[in-house]
Each structure stands twice: as C-alpha cells, then as structure tokens.
Amino acid sequence: MFRLFRGFLGKFCFSLLLFSLVANFTWAQSETATVSGQVVDPSGLNITGAQVKIVDIDRDTSTRVTTNNTGIYTFPSVRPGRYRMEVTAVGFKVVNVTGVTVNVQDHLEQNFKLVVGSISESITVEGGAPFVDTESATVSTVVDRQFAENLPLNGRSFQTLIQLTPGVVLTTSSAASDGQFSVNGQRANSNYWMVDGVSANIGMSSNSFASDTLSGSLGGFSAQGGTNSLVSVDAMQEFRIQTSTFAPEFGRTPGGQISIVTRSGTNQFHGTAFEYFRNDVLDANSWFNGYTNNPPLPKAEERQNDFGGVFGGPIIKDRTFLFFSYEGLRLRLPQTAITTVPDLNARQTPNAIPARQPFFNAYPLPNGPEILDQNGNPTGTASFNKSYSNRSTLDAASLRIDHRLNDKLTLFGRYNHSPSELVQRPGTNAGDALSVLDTIQVSTQTATAGATWVVSPLLTNDLRANYSRVNSTNLLGLDAFGGATPFVGSDVEFPSPFSLKNSMVFVGLFFLNSGYLNTGGGGNLFRQINLVDSFSQLKGSHSLKFGADYRRLTPVVAPAGYIQEAVFLDLAAAQSGQTYFAAVQSEGRVPLKLQNLGLFAQDTWRVRPRLTVTYGLRWDVDFTPQTSSGPSLPAVVNFNDPSTLALAPPGTPVFGTRYGNFAPRLGVAYQLSQKPGWERVLRGGWGVFYDLATSQLSVASDAYPFGAVKFAFGVPFPLDAATAAPPAASTSNPNIYGVDPELKSPYSQ
C-alpha cells in the first residue's frame, strides 16, 4: 500500500499548490470546534500581537493565542463546553467575555474592539445569548445534552432526535440494507457516524450474507437498533448532524455526517442516577383482544426498566479528570400470534412415520379448533394462538479520562463496552413456528485515545486513534413453548464432524402459516483501526487545515459451516417424509481486509468582515477488498455479457483501486445582519462527495470459493448419508457473487 500511496502522492501535492503554500500535513475529521475573530482598536485598525485567552469554566484550563499581522486569532481545536475569553494588549484595557458556549464542530466568530487605557483596567461583557455560526457554509443541526435529557426519548436512544433534522427521511431496514434513515436523498448506508472524532461506522450484521456492513457503512448499533451501544444519552455532551455542503475535512460517504462528543469530568464531583420504567400492570388491555379472537388471550408482559447513572470529577484538580457512565436496559415487548400447527391426530402413528414424529412434535400443541377445508373435512391442522413477550437486554459502560499535560498538550482516552441481546419469537422470519427462538447478540467494544498539541499560537495538531471490535451472533433454537418438544441431533443425519452444535437445520411445512422449524446459527466479527489527524495553521486572513483519515477494517464472516433444509408442500408428504426439495449447504469462513484513506486540504478565508469563503480539496481512496487468509474473493470477466461471463484467474482483484477520486469543495457564508439578536447568515456551497465502492461488496459464505449448495428433489427426510454429505466448492456450475471489475466509487455533487 505504501508504494501505491507514494506513487500518487505527487498528484495530491500538486493540488495543494492551489493554496500557494508548502506545508506538512499529518494524519482528519474532528469533533472539536473553531473559535476565531479579529481584534481592532477604537478606529477599527488591526491590533497585532494581542493575547487572546479562552478558559474552560468547568475545568479551569486555558489556551492562549496571539493575533497575527491582520489582527486575526484562531482557536482551531476547542472542545464543546462553557468558556470565558480574555483579550490583553499593551496600551488597551483588558476585555473579558463570559458565557461563551461552544458546540461540536462550531465555527464561531468573536470579534473584539479594545478601548485605550491601562492594562490594569478591565471591561467585562456578560454573554449568554447564543452565538451564530457566521463562518461555515455547512447546513447542520446541533442537539446538546440538556435538550436530549428533557425530551421523553423512547428507549433512551437519540435516533428520534435525528429524525427531527430537515432532510432526514426514515427508511426500512432489510437483509440487504440495514440503514435506518436517508439524508437529502442519499442511500441509507451512506451516513457516517463519529464518536470523539473517530469512525463509529462499526455495525456488523449477524447473518452469513453480511451485505453493506462489511465495508463499515453503518453505525455500530445495539441488538435493539439503538445508539446506546456507542454512547448513552447521559454520557453524551452533544451531537451535530451535517446534512449538506460540508467542508473537505468531512467525507468518506456523502450522506449525513453525525458527530457525537462524550462528556468528561470537571473540577467538581457530580453524579446522577436514573430509572425509567413501564409496566403492563399500569396499562389497559387492547380493545381488539376478545373482539377478533374469543376467548380473549391473557395480556402479555410489557416491562421496560432503563436504569443507570454517571459519575465524574477530578483525579488531580485542574489537570486530570474522569467520567464514568453505565446504562442497563431490561425490556419485555408483548406480542400476540394466531398460527396453525399440525393437529394431534396428524402427529400420531400410523399417520406420521416414526422418523417424522420428532419434527411434528417440535410444533406447539394446538389450543384452538380443528381447521376444516371448504367441504368441512379435517385438514390435519389446528389453531394455536398465544400471547407472549419478546425480551431484550443491554449493559453499556464507558470510562473517559482527560489529562492536561501542560498548557500546550492535552490527552484523553475512552473505553466503551456494551453487550446487548434480543430474544424474539417467531424470529426475524414471520413464517417461523412459535417454538423457534431467535437470539441476536451484539457485543461492542471501542477504545479511543486523542491528543491536542498547540505547537505555537498559530499552529495546532489534533490526533485521534481508535480500535473497535464488534461480535455479532445469530442463534436459532427450539424450546418447549406451547407444549412443543424440540427434536434432537440423533433425529437428523449429520455427516462428520457436524452436529446440532455447529450446524443449522431448517424444516418447512408450507401448508402451515408458521411452518418453519429452525435451529443453529453463526456469528460475525468486525474490527477497526482508525487513525485521524489534522494540522491547523493561521496565516493572515486564512485559516488553513490539512489532514488525513486512515481506516483499516478486518471483518470476518463466520457461519455455522453446514446447513440442511427440507421443504414439504402438503401434510401427506410431511407425514411420509417425502420432500418437495432438500438443500444441503457447506459454508466457509470469510476473513476480509479493507482499507480507506482520505487526505484533505482546506482554507477558511475571511475575505471581508461579513464574508467567509471555505474552499479546498479532498482525496478519497477506497482500496480493493481482499481476504486476509484462505481463498481470494472471486473476480469475473465479461461482466456486461452474461453469455460469456466467466471467472477470472484466482488472485485477480474483484475491482481496481481508483486513485482519481478528487473532490473539490466550495462554501460561502455571508452575514446579512450583525445586529445583536437579529443575526442572519446566508450560506451556500458546492462540492463533489464520494461514497465507498466497497459498500457494493456482498460476500456469501455458501458461494464459491467459500462454500456450495446442492439441491435434491423428492428425496426422503431425514436424509440419507449420501444426500446429507456437504458439497465441495467447485468451479463447475458454481454459485458466485461477482462484482463489476470496472466498478467506480459512487459520487454526488
């Protein structure tokens, strides 16, 4: 990769000449804000060399910068929070401004007009009015902790707040696309989540067809689909969602850019505890229960207990701070199902052969009337109606430590662990029997470290490093719900070394409305290394920023390894064991390696006191996906001609790495009015925004070269040893998931 990077470095350096300077750039999306402005004397002339200090009120830490020869100062890496500012210059009175509130990724302007006098005299300006972002062309929405805490959020997840953002439309999740919302018409898997300045696109599907989660296109949600696994609401300082015309430092995907900042400790010890609950004892029964079914079904449990707390404070006052949070969720959601099952007579000998009886008995026992055909004859099926509750749990804990090494260097580290589980029936497939339990487990771990270095009053460097690991499993099993008796491993013909413990079995009776019996499962693993760094420099009226964002992903698809499926179309065939068809699959482990690199250079140019222009260039590289071990991903040739479509030689890249993804950006912000309380800003922008080519990658563990599928029609079940033998992956009539070898990165403008 280094040779490829070095070969195209010249292209990027050429683009930097647009800014008419030569500068070192380092590793770039940041959650911090920028506070800047101009210091002038009473006649409006620039004051060079004025000292500007910004003080964090909660931690009593400060940073100083000096105005340049145009009187401009910039604080390029200000953590969201409450601040006061102080300006001193020889021959002028000291000016203090209090009540400065900084939000995530703000671009705030605070100008100062100094009054001639002794430096021992001071003027204090009381703040409190909200600052207006007068420099950024980005369209965005900020939600702070106070706003989030005071709203009744269902499930204590702030996705519902994102839905209030203009341009956001909810989308339906599916096995092929797990995204939750679309921003301004972009794909639901084109949103980019960040926590404390690093990627939180670490979502991983639990099925063997992992689809768009392989490329790191989705946020790392819990098993319930909430953001609690990333940051609990009580551990969140605030978040911002940018929906359009964002600067070159933001990218990799063209959808919404969601940046979350976590809370840190302060100079005072603070703690909170909470418990939110719902209970069916306090709820009325459904009016329809007893109207559409008679007799009424017992009311199922509806219980929600969301509890936890936070604690923060100083370890060393004014220098080292800690913040701990915990959130637990225990949930029971009521469900009512009206299903059909084999009646008691259909399960008995001689109607069902002994080898098939364990599978009939795996369905719940009927508790309703016999179902008759149109002529009034028994169909061999009966009703089974039941109320029940699906359960889920979450335990999310995080610890953050901040340390101020000196006035120029601050460090922080945060660790988060949030296992979650969802147990439901009839599972994700509405055709499953009610005796099938579908258990989804997601365990998320993230570790992030960061350093902000004020090299000089005009130079700042911001570094972030992250390692994330997500284990996602999907386990299907049978239980004794409704009097069912689960079948055992000896009831199925397994080839060595497979058994119920490392295989999946599907038995489907298509004449029942909930006729599938499922057992077994597998799991997937997602790992991320993310390095992000930005370098800021103030040069005259230009605020320059350079940086890079490198991400390495190593997802692993780890299915069960062996699958049997038997399908029956009618009762007589099911009783005799004569299948309509049977399928046998062998599934292999698929370890992948994906890499993304983004470099950017941008300039925020203060053209006039009312006019700010942000322009720059971003370069995104989405490297060709590979396997880290075992067979390589299958590549194809003649993709656009099905008659000559064929496999490429092993080791051929599935598509080529594109090095021409240069994305220019331009944004303009003009202050229409500067009157206090009536500030108005006109914003506009244009840009090119690339998406990940690897988001189109799909890997099936039962397809060549990792696995295979074979079908047999009209064979008896349980299968004999020859039919049950796992098929070997082969190039003769293979099942292939191919990608266009000329695939280019999608983009919008």
Residue 713: per-residue pLDDT: 96
Nearest to 685 by CA among 670, 669, 666: 666
Please list the residues that pair with 51 across neighbouring strands: 66, 88
What's the average model confidence in pLDDT over 490-509?
92
Q: Using one digit for the tens of pLDDT, what is the confidence trace for 181-235?
A: 899 989 888 999 999 999 999 988 877 666 667 888 889 999 988 888 999 989 9
| The token pair that represents 548 in the structure block | 């890079």
The average pLDDT across 655-660 equals: 94
Tokens standing for residue 557: 């698809």
Provide the CA 540 distance to its chain's centre, in angstroms: 39
Return phi, psi of residue 42, to 5°. -60, -25
Higher-confidence residue of 172 and 398: namely: 398
pLDDT at site 504: 94
State what percent of residues in the chain have pLDDT above 70: 93
Q: How does pLDDT run across 318-347, given as a tens digit for each residue?
A: 899 999 999 999 999 988 888 999 999 999
> Residue 34 and residue 110: Cα distance in Å, rounded?
11
Kindly report the backbone phi and psi dihedral angles of residue 640, in degrees, each rounded to the nearest multiple of 5, phi listed first: -90, 5
Percentage of residues of the chain with pLDDT beyond 90: 57
Residue type, 698: S
Q: Inform me whether the pLDDT recorded for 173 exceeds 60.
A: yes
Nearest 5°: the CA angle 120, 122, 124 is: 165
Q: Is the separation of the CB atoms in 192 and 258 below 8 Å?
A: yes
Other beta carbons within 10 angstroms of residue 22's beta carbon come to 8
CA atoms of 746 and 558, how far apart (whole Å): 29
Enclosing H/E stretch for 314: strand 303-316
Cβ(329)–Cβ(303) under 8 Å?
no
Q: Residues 168, 191: contact at Cβ < 8 Å?
A: no
* Displacement of CA 132 from its chain's centroid (Å): 30
Q: Give 676 or 600, the one with higher predicted confidence.
A: 600
Confidence check: pLDDT of 316 > 60: yes
| Predicted local distance difference test score (pLDDT) of residue 106 | 86
Rg (CA), the chain: 31
Residue intervals in the chain for CATH 2.60.40.1120: 31-125
270-279 and 181-183 beta bridge pairing: unpaired
Strands (E), 425-515: 436-456, 459-478, 504-509
Q: Which of 226, 212, 210 is nearest to 179 (CA)?
A: 212
- Asked if 237 and 144 touch (Cβ cutoff 8 Å), the reply is yes
* Main-chain dihedrals φ then ψ at residue 347, nearest 5 degrees: -85, -10
| pLDDT at res. 680 | 87
Tokens of 485: 């008796």
Ramachandran class of 376: left when φ > 0, alpha when ψ lies in -120 to 50, beta otherwise: left
pLDDT higher than threshold 90 for residue 485: yes
Strands 107-109 and 33-40: parallel
Greatest Cα-to-Cα distance within the chain, rounded to the nearest angstrom: 108
What tokens were used for 552? 């390495």
Query: Hey, which residues does 54 pair with through a beta bridge?
Result: 63, 85
What's the whole-model pTM score?
0.86
CB 667 within 8 A of CB 613: yes
Residue 1 has pLDDT above 70, yes or no: no
CB 73 within 8 Å of CB 66: yes
Q: What is the mean pLDDT of residues 258-262?
A: 92
* 702 vs 711: CA distance, rounded Å: 13
Superfamily of domain covering 31-125: Carboxypeptidase-like, regulatory domain (2.60.40.1120)
10 Å CB burial of residue 501 (0-12, 13-18, 19+) is exposed
Cβ contact 644:638 at 8 Å = yes
Residue 731: count other Cβ atoms within 10 Å of its Cβ.
Answer: 12
Residue 80 has pLDDT above 70, yes or no: yes
| Token duo for residue 217 | 């296109």
Cα–Cα distance for residue pair 73/83, rounded to 1 Å: 16
Partner residues linked to 681 by β-bridges: 671
pLDDT at residue 15 greater than cutoff 50: no
Write out pLDDT tens, residues 121-159.
777 776 655 567 777 888 888 888 777 777 777 777 777
Q: What pLDDT was estimated at residue 464?
A: 95
What pLDDT does residue 290 have? 75
Mind listing the pLDDT tens digit for each residue in 412-465? 999 999 999 999 998 556 689 999 999 999 999 999 999 999 898 888 999 999
pLDDT tier at 27, thresholds 50, 70, 90: very low
Which strands sit side by side in the sheet containing 198-199, from one edge to the other?
139-144, 236-244, 257-262, 192-195, 198-199
Rounded CA separation 734/76 (Å): 56
pLDDT tens for each residue of 518-565:
999 888 999 999 999 999 998 888 999 999 999 999 999 999 999 999
| Residue 362 DSSP code | T
- 282: helix, coil or strand? helix
Mean pLDDT of 561-578: 95
Neighbours of 58 (CB within 10 A): 16
Q: Is the pLDDT of residue 374 over 50?
A: yes
Confidence band for 26, pLDDT divided at 50, 70 and 90: very low
Contact between residue 47 and residue 71 where contact means Cβ atoms under 8 Å apart: yes
Whether residue 674 is predicted with pLDDT greater than 80 in this model: the reply is no
Burial class for 205, CB neighbours closer than 10 Å (0-12, 13-18, 19+):
buried
Distances, alpha carbon 405 to alpha carbons 34, 77, 319, 463, 537, in Å: 21, 16, 7, 15, 22
Q: Are 368 and 434 in contact (CB under 8 A)?
A: no
Measured distance CA(557)–CA(213) in Å, rounded: 11
Work out the number of other CB atoms within 10 angstroms of the CB of residue 26: 15
Decide: helix, strand or coil at residue 406: coil
Burial of 48 (0-12, 13-18, 19+ CB in 10 A): middle
Distance (Å, rounded) from C-alpha 496 to C-alpha 392?
A: 35
- Please choose, from the candidates 655, 584, 664, the residue with its C-alpha nearest in 3D space to the C-alpha of residue 623: 655
Contacts with 5 (C-beta within 8 Å, 6 or more apart), sequence order:
597
Count CB-CB contacts under 10 A for residue 176. Answer: 10
Instruction: Report the distance separating Cα 336 and Cα 338, nearest Å.
Output: 7
Residue 686 pLDDT > 70:
yes
Amino acid identity, position 569: L
Task: Write b or e for each residue in 391-405: b if 16 or more Cβ atoms lie within 10 A of its Cβ, otherwise e.
Answer: bbbbbbbbebbbbbe
DSSP state, 209? Answer: B
C-alpha dihedral sign at 491, 495, 497, 500 = negative
For residue 490, pLDDT beyond 50:
yes
Residue 673's pLDDT is 84
Return mean pLDDT, the chain.
87
Question: Between 62 and 484, whose confidence is greater?
Answer: 484
| Residue type for position 626 | Q
Distance of CA 556 to the CA centre of its chain: 17
Length of the chain in residues, anyone?
Answer: 749
373 Cβ contact list (under 8 Å, min separation 6)? 379
Rounded to whole angstroms, the Cα distance separating 62 from 96 reads: 14
